[in-house]
Amino acid sequence: MKKLVGLLVFCGTLAWAQSPEMTAWWDSPVVQNLNLSREQQTQIRTRVREYRDRLIEQRAAVQKAEGNLQDVMNEDQVNEGRAQEAIDRVVAARGDLLRSVSQMSLRLRLVLTPEQWQTLRARRAGQRQQVQKQLRQEMKKAPAKR
């Protein structure tokens, strides 16, 4: 059972890491040389600050819900009703976080010109491919456990 929970958490983390909405593109090297004006930089910082506390709270809620789910799943006798409730809390917490990140990303996107956005999209796609390649290499290196 512990292996299953570990696998589920690992797969969830992989999916999370691969989600383009969940990356902090506004604070990463991919935004370098986008020729952001001072006004754009100020707008981006302001919008990120507007969402920061909410995102911190929502990330904590996701971690708490995932921890509770793991506790329920690790019980010797799993109570299906409690497990379903814990799953629902994880799904709701992740949904709230994804909604906030998506709303913030939209507000940040509105700051960029179409050209800046296309450049950013291309850079992020390349970055995602690199991460996926590294993950595949790491998985190949890891000894198969059965």
Q: Are 92 and 69 in contact (CB under 8 A)?
A: no
Domain that holds residue 50: 2-6+33-112
Instruction: Confirm whether 140 is domain-assigned.
Output: no
Cβ-contact 83, 5 below 8 angstroms: no
Q: Mean pLDDT score of the chain, rounded to an integer?
A: 83
* pLDDT band, very low/low/confident/very high, at 140 (cuts 50, 70, 90): confident
pLDDT at residue number 104: 94
The pTM assigned to this predicted structure is 0.69
Copy the structure tokens of residue 111: 């700051």
pLDDT digits (tens, 9 = 90+) for 54-108: 999 999 999 999 999 999 999 999 999 999 999 999 999 999 999 999 999 999 9
- Is pLDDT of 28 > 80? no
Give the total number of structural domains in the chain. Answer: 1
Burial pattern 111-125, b for ≥16 Cβ within 10 A else e, equals: bbeeebeebbeebbe
Q: Please indicate, yes or no, if residue 54 is contained in any of the structural domains.
A: yes
